[in-house]
Each structure stands twice: as C-alpha cells, then as structure tokens.
Amino acid sequence: MDSDWASDVNDDDWQRQVSEREWQRLQDDHKKAGYREGVIEGKDQTMQAGFNDGFAAGSAIGLRVGQLVGRLRAQLLILSLTPTRTSETEADQLLDEGNALLSEASTVLRDLAHVYSTDRVRAMYDASMAPTASTESIVAASKLLDPASGSVAALRGKVEAWLHQFA
C-alpha cells in the first residue's frame, strides 16, 4: 500500500511538473514571438527620426572634414603637377608637410568613425532626447559630438596655416 501511495504522489508531482513546464514553455514561446514582432514595429516608428537627426549631425562634421581634405589635396596636386615659382627642394618640403597633414586627416576620420560607433554617443543622444522637439534634438546631438569634432578644429588650424603659404 505504501508503495502504491508513494507512486500516486510521485505521478501527481511528475504530472504537475510536466504541466508547469509546458505552461511556461507555451508562455515563453508566444511571448518571444510577439516581442520580436513588437520590437520591429516599435523601431519602425522612431528609427527614421533618429536617422534624420544623426544624418544632420554627421553631415555637419563630414562637411568640415571633407572641405579640409579637398582643399589640401587639390593644392597638393597643383603643387605636384604644375610648374610654380618654388624650387624643387621647397616644393618637396611643402609636399612632405601636406602629405603629413593628409595622414593626420585620415587618422581624424578614423577616430571619428570610432566615436560614432560607441555606445556612449548613442546613450548620450538617447538621454538628451526630448519626446517631440526635433530641432532641439539636432542641436543637442551636434553638441554631443563637440568633443569628437575638437580634433577636426585642431586639424583645420594646421591645414589653414599650410594653405596660407600659397595665398
């Protein structure tokens, strides 16, 4: 009798455990499926606004870097491909200085790309977001990138000084 009683209890326990597991699995599976759909649906509603803000902020810095690199390279090519009043030695020295600035610009760009991809920029932007203010959000986002664009300002000073020699 004892063993039958124990067996009944064990069967009940086992069945309850199985039921609970099944219940939990049913709940988890369907919640997960719904969650996945919901995340996509939610992102669809806000991602474009964030992209637009980011595009404006990124283009403002890109414009500054691109202008520097363009002016620098165009002048280097003029120096390299055309006759000027400078001697070969002077021209070579100017080319060396200009090429060093190009290399520096390349590093600045690489560093900027690294900054953009950090969670810090994303988190700062996220925290600064006003629910509806889009113009303010762009300004806020641009301010976030000021530390990153400090290197662009430093490069600009050097490039301007180099270009000044041709003015």
Partner 1 sequence: MAPTSTMKDSPPARDPASGSAVRTDEAIERDFELSDLVHLEEMFQEEGREEGIAEGLRAGRPEGFTLGLEKGHEMLTEVAYYQSCAETWLAHVQRTSIASPESNEFGDDDDEAARPSRSRSFPPRSRTTLEVFLTLTRSFPRHNALDTGLIELLDRIRGRWKLVCAVLGVPLAAAAYAHGAAFTPVRSRSTDAAVAVEKPLSQSLAF
Nearer to partner 1, 10 or 59 (CB): 59
Chain residues 100-159 in contact with partner 1, contact rule CB under 8 A: 102-103, 105-106, 109, 112-113, 116-117, 121-123, 125-126, 129, 141, 145
Decide if residue 161 touches partner 1 (CB under 8 A).
Answer: no
Closest distance to partner 1 from the beta carbon of 12 (Å): 18
Q: Which of 44, 132, 157, 164 binds partner 1 (CB under 8 A)?
A: 44
The DSSP annotation for 12-76 comes to HHHHHHHHHHHHHHHHHHHHHHHHHHHHHHHHHHHHHHHHHHHHHHHHHHHHHHHHHHHHHHHHH
Decide if residue 35 touches partner 1 (CB under 8 A).
Answer: yes
Nearer to partner 1, 7 or 134 (CB): 134
Contacts of 152 (CB under 8 A, 6+ apart): 61, 64, 65, 68, 108, 112
Please check whether residue 84 is in contact with residue 91, taking contact to mean a CB–CB distance below 8 angstroms: yes
* Run of H or E residues at 101: helix 88-116
User: Token pair 């991602």 is at which residue?
Assistant: 47
Closest distance to partner 1 from the beta carbon of 6 (Å): 28
The site string for partner 1 over 73-102 (x = CB under 8 A, - otherwise) reads xxxxxxxxxxxxx--x--xx--x--xx--x
Q: Which of 9, 11, 55, 147 binds partner 1 (CB under 8 A)?
A: 55
